[in-house]
Structure 1
């Protein structure tokens, strides 16, 4: 591809998205650039503090449990308080709880604060996704979600590399740097992001049904997507749960695992944007079915890997599934969510991934200990097949994109969140 073609492709990728999206994207990138604690928490507790691996696992589980709880809580806050207040509360709370965790020495206090960190850090996710759906046009959402996912992985790739060097200098410095960068995200939100929550009209206030968690649970098609996202999440979790255990049992070193799993981050950063350009306007049903099969059978191929290069090839297969699945599935969640219930719907979707993060370590450990790693990889193929069938059934006769909410009078909303005319919107970029 010529330099001119590359420039044109890059321009088309970022064009047409409002300024507010780019400030939200910047906040996401800064947040992930500072995500040090999750990377070195186990090493910090076992090497620096001298606690057992079991205790480190307990702290990780409590951190995950906090995320499960706050997924729903953050969704409710997003709909009731608004996107901007929820982001400010979540990010400020995360900054202070992470800093506090660095100064804790008592094991009970460490566990309790880790639970609070999990709650605070996960509460912002429904608000981010809902705000993105509010400010980006329906036809651009897959591209916007893909760019946001790219920022998450780029930030994580940098932060995970930097975490090792920071930990050698001072674990406390890592906690404080993450707290500072999270606080910087809150400042960006405060200064640059106006509230984007759609305004309810008088008719909607008078006759519209209030969207509650019960509404979400009764939405059969959406809850089916949540269940399938849980299955997919359990599969993808094996990259950080089952794969290192299986490689260690087969005699490979941690460095070997590091080389193999690094392929995941490199491919996402390199391919997320061009692949999204290819899939952006294609049938989401077919994309989700293909991604589920690639995920399940990509991990199944691990059973036949006998070298680091072979493991890296299997990582390539399921990473492609991740690149296709992430923006497509997030776009479907928005498409199935009512405008005035996006926070709760996004919260339920986020919870499926949080629960998977708790279930995956337990299930993979039991399978490997009692039956061997080959059974784990075989089950990944089974789960991927079930998910593919589920996507094919649920995505039939997918409803069209819901009409946007009736806009409020021109003088009742900040100018930054008023819809731009199509020709003007296409000229705005970050």
Structure 2
């Protein structure tokens, strides 16, 4: 166990652990994202389509926030962008707690999306800045592990808070976000270099590879245009939209489907908490279990398993059966998360990490808009069975596309990878 713990957590920078601790504090109180759909439909008595539209507006704000946050992270720094988003997001949650009008909630949801998602590119870019490439799979795995540790606590505690008073769902979330911002303000250092990083591959032994890397990495002056003309990266982000559409149903249409089967919101909280518990138990073993698998293979396997899990939801009608489907798609999620993050990091030129993180986070925001709006529409007008079988079909299609597009991604990652450290050779002594 000591060796496993050392292999899993040893040697990571102290600044990474500050980010890790801030994530834990924030996620333990992350109540709103879990219970907002239930709050909108049971407390405010909005229809599933109206609730889906608010969730979609939230995601639209996140799309704008990702763009602004990515540019800000590169131009003015990671730390100030991260903290600004957190403080402003907490203020928006406080306002949302005491707003009852439909369009008032929708407007605040949009603003919260801007601020909360505006902090994400800075966080991702800072993690890549801080952690050497050889340790990033472990770092992303540990970060995802703590996200779900917090989620497991939040899903259970949010159910208790909602049973007592739904205002607590918003107030506790805002308070933990402010505590996180305060902690990171006093512990984190700015990780962005004051001068632009030069192309790390300029000294590559292959002249073709070095020139390609230089062309990508020296394009910082082009801003977001460079990212939106990177075909290899955009295909990867587009596949993530489809995968995220399936995955995000657990926060939007799944609680509504469970409510239609007579399952209470508190029971939904316990069932969905299984997702976090499973990841807390199993995620730290993923690097060992997937050792020897390529990132492309991991992404394809994850897509198949996730689609299968959501497809099985078409048959579920009891809490135990729903819990079984959560178990299946959580396995896919555990394989997908580190492979997705490390692939994203490998495709990001050093000078443009904030922008690339912003555009990749945009793929989540797009899925966050499409998942509740399209998912809610299909659920209301076509039925749950069609929705869950569609999720299974999307999972299989994405797996095939990951396999087809994988070789081009790995060639690009090899071009952008930093060269191995030079080995100094001592002169052979003359006898």
Give the TM-score normalised by the residue count of structure 1.
0.83
Which residue among 155, 158, 161 is the counterpart of 1:163? 158
Give the structure 2 partner of residue 179 of structure 1: 174
- Displacement of 1:241 in angstroms is 3.2
Are the equivalent residues in 2 in contact too, given 1:45–1:56 (CA < 8 A)?
yes
1:136 aligns with 2:146: no
Give the structure 2 partner of residue 348 of structure 1: 359
Change (3 A) 1:52 1:93: same
Which residue among 353, 360, 368 is the counterpart of 1:357? 368
**How many corresponding residue pairs?**
399
Give the structure 2 partner of residue 331 of structure 1: 342
Structure 2 segments unaligned to the other structure (5+ residues):
200-213, 420-431
- Displacement of 1:74 in angstroms is 0.9
Greater shift in the superposed pair: 269-278 or 245-254: 245-254
- Residues 106-128 of structure 1: per-residue CA shift (max 9 Å, x gap): 55444322321221111111111
1:14 aligns with 2:25: no
Query: Using the alignment, how far apart are the partners of 1:378 and 1:102 within structure 2?
Result: 36
Query: Using the alignment, how far apart are the partners of 2:344 and 2:336 within structure 1?
Result: 12
- Displacement of 1:292 in angstroms is 1.1
SS of 1:134's equivalent? helix
Change (3 A) 1:361 1:55: closer
- Residues 316-359 of structure 1: per-residue CA shift (max 9 Å, x gap): 22111100001111110110111011111111111111111221
Which residue among 234, 240, 249 is the counterpart of 2:245? 234
Report 1:91-102 matches (<5 A).
Answer: 91-102=86-97
Change (3 A) 1:103 1:72: same
Are the equivalent residues in 2 in contact too, given 1:294–1:320 (CA < 8 A)?
yes
Give the TM-score normalised by the residue count of structure 2.
0.83
Which residue among 298, 314, 321 is the counterpart of 2:332? 321
Are the equivalent residues in 2 in contact too, given 1:134–1:196 (CA < 8 A)?
yes
1:28 aligns with 2:23: yes
Query: Using the alignment, how far apart are the partners of 1:202 and 1:38 within structure 2?
Result: 37
- Residues 15-52 of structure 1: per-residue CA shift (max 9 Å, x gap): 0110000001111111111212333445555666x553
1:224 aligns with 2:235: yes
Are the equivalent residues in 1 in contact too, given 2:156–2:269 (CA < 8 A)?
no
Greater shift in the superposed pair: 364-373 or 277-286: 364-373
Query: Using the alignment, how far apart are the partners of 2:37 and 2:317 within structure 1?
Result: 28
Query: Using the alignment, how far apart are the partners of 1:247 and 1:181 within structure 2?
Result: 29
Give the structure 1 partner of residue 116 of structure 2: 121
Query: Using the alignment, how far apart are the partners of 1:57 and 1:362 within structure 2?
Result: 5
- Residues 155-183 of structure 1: per-residue CA shift (max 9 Å, x gap): 12212222233344444444333323212
Give the structure 2 partner of residue 88 of structure 1: 83
Which residue among 395, 409, 416 is the counterpart of 1:402? 416
Report 1:368-387 matches (<5 A).
Answer: 368-387=379-398
Greater shift in the superposed pair: 161-170 or 271-280: 161-170
- Displacement of 1:388 in angstroms is 1.0
Query: Using the alignment, how far apart are the partners of 2:194 and 2:222 within structure 1?
Result: 14
Give the structure 2 partner of residue 208 of structure 1: 218
**RMSD, aligned α-carbons:** 2.9
Query: Using the alignment, how far apart are the partners of 1:233 and 1:292 within structure 2?
Result: 10
Query: Using the alignment, how far apart are the partners of 1:258 and 1:249 within structure 2?
Result: 15
Which residue among 399, 413, 422 is the counterpart of 1:388? 399
SS of 1:185's equivalent? helix
